[in-house]
Amino acid sequence: MIRLLAWPGRYLRGFGAFFRGLGFIAHHRLWGYLLLPALLSLSLGLILILLGFFTVRDGVLHLYHGNDRTWLATYEVLANILAGAIALFVTLIGYQTLVPLVVIPFLGPLLNRVEIILTGQPIEVGWWRDIQNALIGGWFALRDAILQLLCLGLTLFLGPGQPIVMLLISGYFLGRGSFDYLLEKQSQTLKERFQKTRRYWPEIQGLGSAQVLGLFIPLLGILLVPASGVVGAALLVYGATKVDTVDASPESPQLNGGR
């Protein structure tokens, strides 16, 4: 019951951590660490949305076999609108599926620097752990993509309420991707990693919701969302206390230790 009552506050703390992460990057002038990940993120987003849009639009246009040019022009407009809407959802699912594999690994130097600022030293793992984590991350990405597509289909009956539900669902997966890279460094076993992920569920949901909304900001969103999410997750993990107590709040040894 205590955990349930604490859920809204923890969700809001996770939501705010996205903006705190962005502010942390600006305050400590860590923009140089964002260059390569931001370019990869932008490239991934553009490829997905263009591929999704033209694939859907061309498929819909091929279904039309009439000769009426007036109706054809109207049909093309409708096809573009439909293709844009579908491409947006598919891109969101594809983006958050591929970001942990394509973008977040290149945020390692940024996360190391953040850990030095917050705790005085980074958490180092061996190359074998890195390979294992990459393989596990690939499996999680595939599984999450399938689950989100199933959710997309199952929520069609919700009508106007579907985007809100999908925002929460997509937010969880996107937020968890930001936490995964941090928690995998702190966990010795997959079971321990799962336990920590469940413990941070409200914060993950809040952080991910902010990230999804951030992706709707033209250009800047797709450039800054991955880095702000990872730094926000680090602030949540290192910035509070009592992770193992009843309220399951995130733990942190020293928030200001490196400042």
The number of distinct structural domains making up the chain is 1
Residue 122 lies in a domain: no
Q: Which of 4-8, 67-71, 171-175, 180-184 has the highest mean pLDDT?
A: 171-175
Q: How far is CA 70 from CA 41, 74, 75, 209, in A?
A: 40, 7, 9, 42
Asked whether residue 86 is assigned to any structural domain, the reply reads yes
Is 78 domain-assigned? yes
Q: Please report whether residue 245 resides in a domain.
A: no
Q: What is the pLDDT of residues 154-190, one digit of tens each?
A: 777 777 777 788 888 888 888 888 898 788 877 777 7
Tokens 């962005």 -> residue? 22
Does some domain include residue 252?
A: no
Q: Is 244 part of any domain?
A: no
pLDDT band per the 50, 70, 90 thresholds, residue 66: low
Instruction: Read off the pLDDT of residues 17-35 as tens digits, 9 standing for 90 and up.
Output: 999 999 999 999 999 888 8
Helix axes 162-186, 127-154, angle to 10 degrees: 170
Residue 180, in any domain of the structure: yes
Average pLDDT, stretch 98-113?
82
Percent with pLDDT over 70 in the chain: 84
Range of the domain at 167: 11-117+127-237
> Is the pLDDT reported for residue 241 higher than 70?
no
Residue 120 CB burial class (10 angstroms; 0-12, 13-18, ≥19): exposed
pTM here is 0.76
Q: Is residue 250 part of a domain?
A: no
* Residue pair 239/249 in contact by the 8 Å Cβ criterion: no
